[in-house]
Amino acid sequence: MFVVFIAAIISVITFWGMVIFEDYIANKFFLSDIAKKKVVDTRYKELQAYIKENSVKGTDNQKLQKWLDKRRYTQLLVWDNRRDVFSGGWIVNYGDEKDDQNIDTTVQENKQEIIINKKNNTKRVGSKDFIEDIYNRYVTFDDGKYYVYINVNKEKYWYKVMGIATLSISFLVFMLIIMVYNGMVLNRVKKLSGEVSRISEGNLDGEIYKGKMDEIGTLAASVDSMRNSIVETMRSEKAAWNSNTALITAMSHDIRTPLTSLVGYLDIIEGGKYKSEEELVHYIKSSREKAIQLKDLSDKLFNYFLFFGNASQDKNLENMDAGILFSQILMEHVTEIVSKELEVDLDFDIPEGVTAAVEVSAIRRLFDNLFSNILKYASKDFPVKVMGEAANNEIRIILSNHTTEEAKKVESTKIGVKTCRKICQDMGGDFLVTDRDKIYTTEVIFPVVGTEEEGNVDKGYSENQRNA
């Protein structure tokens, strides 16, 4: 609609421009005194030549009409002191009311003064009231002199032609603007169609040109957004495929090593190749350790796919009092590892009232995994350091322990680290790991979402949540 409105405005401007041009030409070449005098003089000369050649009397209406018929836009009046002798020409024959009103008033004044004035009736011509000018003159016919009025309206032909031309050009300008705009729109649609065809063929490279943000631009932006979504989805799927392929390859190695040892121990036991009961007990114990190692790998693999497979599901996050929640969870696990003869250095400084948005069941899985690794791989010669703090709008739980030589022989896939990091990131946090000089440190980070004064804070979690 906006383009139609603009086209209409330009067409109106064109129309009035043509009208102004039309009036300018008419005034300069048809209506000016010089132009009028020139054309009227020509008509008077033609009339006098016609009278002379054809012996025309003032009362020869047929001959005068014949002369007028060959001269369009010409008016001729002939009269004397007693009456109108002849009246004909363009205005009389074609009845142009506007032009009839615009006839030079001199001829009317001449006729009224001459005919009404009684004392002039004795003579056919020669009234002192007759005023000669461009249009009004004495003309000698074959039967004597008469008063004659001639006017030529050639500008009417110009107005007629220009009227048609003005309307035609204004309409053509309007249609041209609409056609040009439609052509531009069609080209954009064709271009967008080509881009969509390219995408449908699988070529997702290159941004789709949007242009101005009208309906087509909005559609192009939507298509480009769809393209970006497809590209991102394919990139994510490819990354997931590569990651899972690498994981499966590494897991195959990690599983094969203890499984090969387990099969070897069982072959020795089954074949009775041990030398003593002590050797048999050793092989049975080693087989059990390898079986536990395989179970641990399968549990970690299960947790990995549990959290990475549910990436699209909404997380059930709750605003919890971090001081109470983490102190309860950490104390449970600290008590457990102390019972396993590990020394613990605890430094917990998260005050009550600090709020974190967490999923309690996921938090339990996270710390179950971390403390399970501590029980398996922490050296009993050094204390396990457990620290909790709240600073800079972050909650940090840091676990640090010296590792045994056995820890270096297991799990090359780091599947447990990936799972822990995924759990933290799903809750808006992060998970950091450093392994330097036989000291293994994990750092759990969650953002602070509020304080006790802001309300909507659970003070802890229920027994059901503890046992989840």
Q: What is the pLDDT of residue 124?
A: 67
DSSP secondary structure, 132-184, as one string: --SSEEEEEETTEEEEEEEEE-THHHHHHHHHHHHHHHHHHHHHHHHHHHHHH
Instruction: Label residue 68 by pLDDT band (50, 70, 90).
Output: very high
C-alpha–C-alpha distance, residues 165 and 171, integer Å = 10
Q: Where do the domains of the chain lie? A: 32-153, 232-308, 315-466
Tokens 């008077």 correspond to 44
SS3 80: coil
Give the pLDDT of residue 1: 72
Report the C-alpha gap between 304 and 292 in whole angstroms: 18
- Give the DSSP per-residue string, 306-336: HHHHTTTSPP--EEEEHHHHHHHHHHHHHHH
**Does the pLDDT at position 304 exceed 80?**
no
CA distance 194 to 215: 17
d(CA 238, CA 72): 88
Query: Residue 99 — very low, low, confident or very high, per pLDDT cuts 50/70/90?
Result: very low
Name the class of domain 232-308: mainly alpha
> What confidence tens digit (pLDDT) does each residue in 112-153 have?
555 545 444 556 677 677 888 999 999 999 999 999 999 999
What is the CA 249 to chain-centroid distance, rounded? 45
Cα gap 107→438, rounded to integer Å? 127
Stretch 366-376: mean pLDDT: 89
Instruction: Supply the mean pLDDT for the chain.
Output: 82
Strand order in the sheet with 354-358: 318-321, 354-358, 450-451
Q: What confidence score (pLDDT) does residue 454 get?
A: 53
What's the pLDDT at 101? Answer: 36
Vertex 454, ends 450 and 455: CA angle to 5°?
105
Task: List the structure tokens of 413.
Answer: 């896939």
DSSP letter at 27 equals I
Closest CA to 384 of 399, 397, 372: 399
* Number of neighbouring beta carbons within 10 Å of residue 38: 12
Nearest alpha carbon to residue 10 among 181, 179, 177, 168: 177
String of b and e for 242-253 (b: at least 16 CB within 10 Å)?
A: eeeeebeeebee
pLDDT the model gives residue 464: 40
Both tokens of residue 423? 């759990």
DSSP string, 170-214: HHHHHHHHHHHHHHHHHHHHHHHHHHHHHHHTT---SPPP--SSS
Q: Could you give the 3-state DSSP secondary structure of residue 348?
A: strand
Confidence of residue 442 (pLDDT cuts 50, 70, 90): very high
Identity of residue 390: A
Confidence tier at 23 by pLDDT (50, 70, 90): very high
Answer for the pair 435, 411: CB distance below 8 angstroms, yes or no. Answer: no
Q: Are 77 and 110 in contact (CB under 8 A)?
A: no
Asked whether the predicted pLDDT for residue 409 surpasses 70, the reply is no
Task: Give dist(CA 10, CA 177) in Å, integer.
Answer: 9
Tokens of 130: 């007759």
Containing 439, the helix (H) or strand (E) segment is: strand 439-447
Across the range 66-87, mean pLDDT stands at 91
Tokens of 403: 């590792």
Rounded distance between C-alpha atoms, residue 58 and residue 406, angstroms: 141
> In this structure, which topology does domain 315-466 adopt according to CATH?
Heat Shock Protein 90 (3.30.565)
